[in-house]
Structure 1
C-alpha cells in the first residue's frame, strides 16, 4: 500500500480586472513537467511556507473572512493571507501592499520589500475552499481569495518581476476563460466567482469542495 499523501495548506488569488464592465482574470500556465497539474492554466497560488506566519500584514481583512479562515488546527488567517500575497508576487510580480519601508524583510520577501511596499490584506476576500482528492501525487487544502485589480500597487500588465513558476501570464476575459485548459476545481471556483460579479464581497455561504472530483461534495464551511 502506498503511503498517504499529506495535505498541505495553500492559498490562491483570483485577481479580477474590470469586474463591472468586461471582467478578466489573471492566469498563467504550469510547466508541462510539473508534478502537480502539469500544463494546466491556473490562478497564482501555492502552499503555505513556514515563514508566512511571521509576516505582519497591514490592512483589514473582512470580519466574515477572518471568521471563516479561523478554526482549531488551522493556520491563523494572517498566515494564509501572507501566503496568498507572497504567491501572487512570486508567480506574477504583482504587489498587494501599501507604501512603506521594510528594511528587516525576511529573505524570501526581500524582492517584494525592494518595491517599497509591505503586504496588505485590504481588498482580499475569502470566497472558496477546496481539498485535493485522494490519489493525487500532491494534496492541498486551498483557500481561494478574490481581489480587484485596482488594488494592485503597480502596472497590472507588468510581469517582469515574476519568477518562472508560471508561463504565459495574461489577463483572460471571463467570457473566454473556460476555453483554456483549466483543472476541474479551477473551473468550479471560476464559476462561483463569475456567478456573483461584479460583487466581490464575501459570499453568503462559503463553498467548500472535497472528496473525489468525480463525486464532489459541497458543504458550507461556515455560515454567517
Structure 2
C-alpha cells in the first residue's frame, strides 16, 4: 500500500500481486513480530514499518510449474483465498495462483532475511488491495509464520535501515508516540493477530479471508483503524 493518494493518478494503474509475512516467535509476554524500518528514500512505503515481502514475479510462477513447493497445502490455501482475486479466473486456476503467492512469500523472506521457510509454515492471514487513485497499486496477500527456535532471520535488505524483533504492544506504543509510521494493512493484520492471543491460536485459526478495499481517505497511518477492516470471517 502507498501512504496517500496521488493527485491525478489514473484508475487504470495495474494492480500487482504481492506477498507479506508476519514472522512470529514466542516471547515471555506472548509473542514478538519481525519488522523492518524502510529507508526514507524508497519510492514505496518510505520510512514505514513493514513486514518482509514484495511483489510476485515470473520466477514464482516457475517455481509452481516446476513443483518446487513440494508439501505445500495449495488446495487449502486456495480455499482460504476464495473471497479474493485468487479465484478471479475460476477454481481450476486458483490453486496455481495460490502457489505463486506462496512462492513469492518464501522468496522474499529468504532474500530479505536469509531465512528459507518450509512451505507448510506459511499460513494465509489477510488480503488488502490498494484503492484507486494511488500511483502504485498492490493486491497484497499476508501470511503468518511461527518460527522454530533454530530459525533466526537477519537484517540483509538494502530497502530497510534496520530489521528487528519487537513486541506488538511496544510497537503500537511507538506508533501512538509518533516515533514510527505504519500503513493500515500493517496495523490491522497485527491487531488481528493480537486479538487471537497466542501463536498457537493464530496459526490454528485458519480464517476464510475476504479482500479489504480501504477508503483512500483512510490511508494515512495516523488514522484509526476501523473495526470494519477486520479481514476474516471467524
Category of TM-score, reference length = shorter chain: 0.7 to 0.9
The answer on 1:166 being equivalent to 2:160 is yes
Root-mean-square deviation over aligned CA pairs:
2.6
Task: Provide the rounded CA distance (Å) in 1 between the counterparts of 2:87 and 2:28.
Answer: 34
The answer on 1:60 being equivalent to 2:76 is no
Aligned to 2:127: 129
Q: How does 1:148-167 map to 2 (within 5 A)?
A: 148-150=146-148, 155-156=151-152, 158-159=154-155, 162-167=156-161
Higher share in helix: 2
Do the aligned partners of 1:127 and 1:145 also contact (CA within 8 Å) in 2? Answer: yes
* TM-score normalised by structure 1 residue count: 0.76
Task: Provide the rounded CA distance (Å) in 1 between the counterparts of 2:73 and 2:145.
Answer: 12
Aligned to 2:140: 142
Which deviations, in whole Å up to 9, do the C-alpha atoms of 1:19-70 show, x marking residues without a partner? 6853110010112111111100100111101110111113332754231334
Higher share in strand: 1
Q: How does 1:193-204 map to 2 (within 5 A)?
A: 193-198=193-198, 199=201, 200-204=203-207
Task: Provide the rounded CA distance (Å) in 1 between the counterparts of 2:143 and 2:214.
Answer: 21
Aligned to 2:39: 31
Match of 1:76, SS state, is helix
* Closer/same/farther in 2, CA of residues 170 and 220 from structure 1, 3 Å limit: closer
* TM-score normalised by structure 2 residue count: 0.73
Count matched residues.
Answer: 196
Unmatched tracts of structure 2, length 5 or more = 1-7, 175-179, 219-225
Shift, 1:135, TM fit: 2.1
Moved more, 54-63 or 5-14: 54-63
